[in-house]
Amino acid sequence: MRGKDFLAIGDLESEEIGMLVERAAALKHGERPQVLAGKVLALIFEKPSLRTRVSFEVGIRQLGGQCVYLSKDDIGLGTREPAEDVARVLDRWVDGIVARVFSHRSLEILAERFRAPVINALSDLEHPCQAVGDLLTISEHKGAFDDVRVAWVGDGNNVSGSLALACASVGAGFVMATPEGYRLPSPVWDEASRRAARNESVMEWTASPSEAVQGADVVYTDTWVSMGDEAEADERKAAFAEYQVNAALMDKAKAGAVFMHDMPAYRGNEISEGMIDDARSVVFDQAENRLHGQNAVMVDLFGG
Residue range at the interface with ligand NVA (CB under 6 A); choices 78-86, 154-162, 209-217, 283-291: 154-162
* Contact status: 286 vs ligand NVA (CB under 6 A): no
The long-range contacts involving 16-20, CB below 8 angstroms and separated by at least 24 positions, are 17/132, 17/135, 17/166, 17/169, 17/170, 18/169, 18/170, 19/300, 20/132, 20/293, 20/296, 20/297, 20/300
User: Interface with ligand NVA includes 270 (CB under 6 A)?
Assistant: no
Q: In the complex, what is the shortest distance from the CB of residue 242 to ligand NVA, in angstroms, rounded to a whole number?
A: 19
Which listed residue (137, 139, 158, 162) binds ligand NVA by CB under 6 A?
158
Give the number of other CB atoms < 10 A from CB of residue 245.
Answer: 25
Q: Which residue is nearest to ligand NVA (CB)?
A: 226
The answer to the question of residue 178 lying near ligand NVA (CB under 6 A) is no
- Contacts of ligand NVA in 247-266 (CB under 6 A): 262
Provide, rounded to whole angstroms, the least separation between the CB of residue 227 and ligand NVA: 4
Q: In whole angstroms, how close is the CB of 123 to ligand NVA at the nearest point?
A: 9
Cβ atoms < 10 Å from Cβ of 243: 22
Nearest Cα neighbor of 48 from 237, 230, 253, 189 is: 230
Is 120 near ligand NVA (CB under 6 A)? Answer: no
> Which of the ranges 9-17, 112-120, 220-228, 277-285 carries the binding residues for ligand NVA, by CB under 6 A?
220-228
Shortest Å distance, C-beta 138 to ligand NVA = 18
Using CB under 6 A, which of 137, 139, 157, 286 touches ligand NVA?
Answer: 157
Binds ligand NVA (CB under 6 A): choice among 137, 226, 294, 295: 226
Binding status of residue 159 toward ligand NVA by CB under 6 A? yes
CB nearer ligand NVA, residue 18 or residue 59: 59
Segment near ligand NVA (CB under 6 A); pick from 54-62, 104-112, 219-227, 280-288: 219-227
The residue (of 137 and 199) whose beta carbon lies closer to ligand NVA is 137
Residues in the chain: 304
- Measured between alpha carbons, how far is 246 from 261 in angstroms, rounded to an integer? 12
Is residue 227 near ligand NVA by the rule CB under 6 A? yes
**Taking each helix axis from N to C terminus, what angle separates 128-142 and 283-302, rounded to the nearest 10 degrees?**
120
Q: By CB under 6 A, tell whether 222 contacts ligand NVA.
A: yes
CB–CB of 117/262 below 8 Å? Answer: no
Q: Shortest Cβ distance from residue 54 to ligand NVA (Å)? A: 13
Contact, 164 vs 183, CB < 8 A? no
Piece of 11-19, 74-82, 184-192, 222-230 that binds ligand NVA (CB under 6 A)? 222-230
276 near ligand NVA, rule: CB under 6 A: no
Stretch that binds ligand NVA, among 29-37, 108-116, 151-159, 167-175 (CB under 6 A): 151-159
List interacting residues with ligand NVA (CB under 6 A): 122, 157-159, 222-223, 226-227, 262
